[in-house]
Amino acid sequence: MGQILIINFSPIFIYFPSIFIMMELTLFGTSSMVPTKERNQSAVFLRYENEGFLFDCGEGTQKQFKIKGIPLTRITKIFLTHWHGDHVFGLPGVIASLGKMDYERSLLIVGPKGTKKHLEAMFSAFEFERNFGIEIREAEKGICFDAKGYKVECLPLDHDVPTVGYRFVEKDVRHIDMKKIKKIGLPAGPMLGKLADGEPVEHNGKRILPEEATFIEKGKKVAIVTDTAFCANAVKLAEDADLVVAEATFGAKLEEKSKAYKHMTGREAAQVASQAGAKKLVLTHFSARYKETIEVEEDAKDIFPDTIAGRDFMTFKI
Ligand SMILES: [Zn+2]
Ligand SMILES: [Zn+2]
């Protein structure tokens, strides 16, 4: 998200557009229940400025961080989609390792209904050395985390246990339009800050509205849609998203099986992205039966061309 920095002690006006904001998504696991040699269980890591959001934490996730060279302590919040083992088996390991590191913050764990009960059972099953706080939130629908520059929303999905999908939404930002400012003849200073905050200002007896001197930069959106059968909420989560990470457990030939197990085919994932008007689709959560995922990818590309079959360690700049 863009930010404006006005240096009041100098006539220089510095504008930092959003291009400087770090927003990067890494796939740490693209397999469904049974991992393969090439594919780990589910985990997606989204870095946004100083935040690190881990969506699901399949077995071996902490090792994937090591291999990729991202310190585990970058994780600031964990969002769990559901409690099927392939999405949470890595959780005790990550928490135990953070307890051995200089992890000086409180870790937020968000998950569907039942998350508190599952976590309590997990903490009593293992001996944890924990010197940091953990806040647990159960989320069903709506905003599950709200911060100054972004929010994370969730909606229930159609799976055989309580499951939520997530949507990271960077808030829109109002920027100063230097061309308009020059035309109006406004000097650099606090007035520009006010306009950037959406407030009107007075200059030479004239009232200047923010719309006359600024422009809106739309925030980026990322959707995590897994595990689920095709459903309306999957489309809602992906609406207008810059990047959709969606499960595509099966190829189109196994559509019946996919429906029976409450999963999606590549084609259905593409329908989600297409109906949602998303910009890019990354497929994940492939059945171990697919050594190569090209079949699933091609099914999807027929419907939504900007599709890529995810591979472990793939990184996307957003
Ligand atoms: Zn799964
Ligand atoms: Zn599942």
Active site residues: 86
- What span, in angstroms and rounded, lies between the C-alpha atoms of 250 and 269? 10
Using 50 as the pLDDT threshold, list the residues of the chain that sit under it: 1-18
- What span, in angstroms and rounded, lies between the C-alpha atoms of 216 and 174? 4
Among the bound ligands, the one closest to the CA of 29: 1
Among the bound ligands, the one closest to the CA of 41: 1
Residue 252, Cβ neighbours under 10 Å: how many? 19
Distance 7 CA to ligand 2 centre (A): 51
What pLDDT is stored for residue 271 in this prediction?
A: 98
CA-based nearest residue to 196, from 172, 213, 182: 213
Q: Which two tokens stand for residue 35?
A: 């991992």
Distance 232 CA to ligand 2 centre (A): 18
Contact assessment for residue 77 and residue 106, using Cβ atoms and an 8 Å cutoff = no
Cis amide leading into 299 (omega within 30): no
Among the bound ligands, the one closest to the CA of 84: 2
- What span, in angstroms and rounded, lies between the C-alpha atoms of 266 and 270? 6
User: Widest CA span of the chain, in angstroms?
Assistant: 72
First to last CA, the chain: 11
Distance 262 CA to ligand 2 centre (A): 8
pLDDT digits (tens, 9 = 90+) for 101-130: 989 889 999 999 999 999 999 999 998 878
Among the bound ligands, the one closest to the CA of 31: 1
Distance 259 CA to ligand 2 centre (A): 13
What pLDDT is stored for residue 16 in this prediction?
A: 44
Distance 135 CA to ligand 2 centre (A): 24
Residue 77 burial (C-beta neighbours within 10 Å; 0-12, 13-18, 19+) = buried
Distance 77 CA to ligand 1 centre (A): 20
What pLDDT is stored for residue 130 in this prediction?
A: 80
Domains and CATH numbers, the chain: 16-172+218-317 (3.60.15.10), 186-216 (no CATH)
- What span, in angstroms and rounded, lies between the C-alpha atoms of 214 and 202? 15
- What span, in angstroms and rounded, lies between the C-alpha atoms of 164 and 262? 13
What pLDDT is stored for residue 252 in this prediction?
A: 92
List alpha helices for 101-177, DSSP H. Answer: 115-125
- What span, in angstroms and rounded, lies between the C-alpha atoms of 142 and 269? 22
Q: Which residue has the tokens 């890595």?
A: 90
Distance 72 CA to ligand 1 centre (A): 22
What pLDDT is stored for residue 97 in this prediction?
A: 94
Distance 181 CA to ligand 1 centre (A): 52
- What span, in angstroms and rounded, lies between the C-alpha atoms of 203 and 101? 54
- What span, in angstroms and rounded, lies between the C-alpha atoms of 241 and 222? 5
Q: Which two tokens stand for residue 226?
A: 């897994």
- What span, in angstroms and rounded, lies between the C-alpha atoms of 99 and 198? 43
Residue 256, Cβ neighbours under 10 Å: how many? 10
Among the bound ligands, the one closest to the CA of 285: 1
Q: Which residues pair with 173 in a beta bridge?
A: 217
What pLDDT is stored for residue 132 in this prediction?
A: 92
Q: What H or E segment, with its residue span, contains residue 213?
A: helix 210-213
Distance 96 CA to ligand 1 centre (A): 23
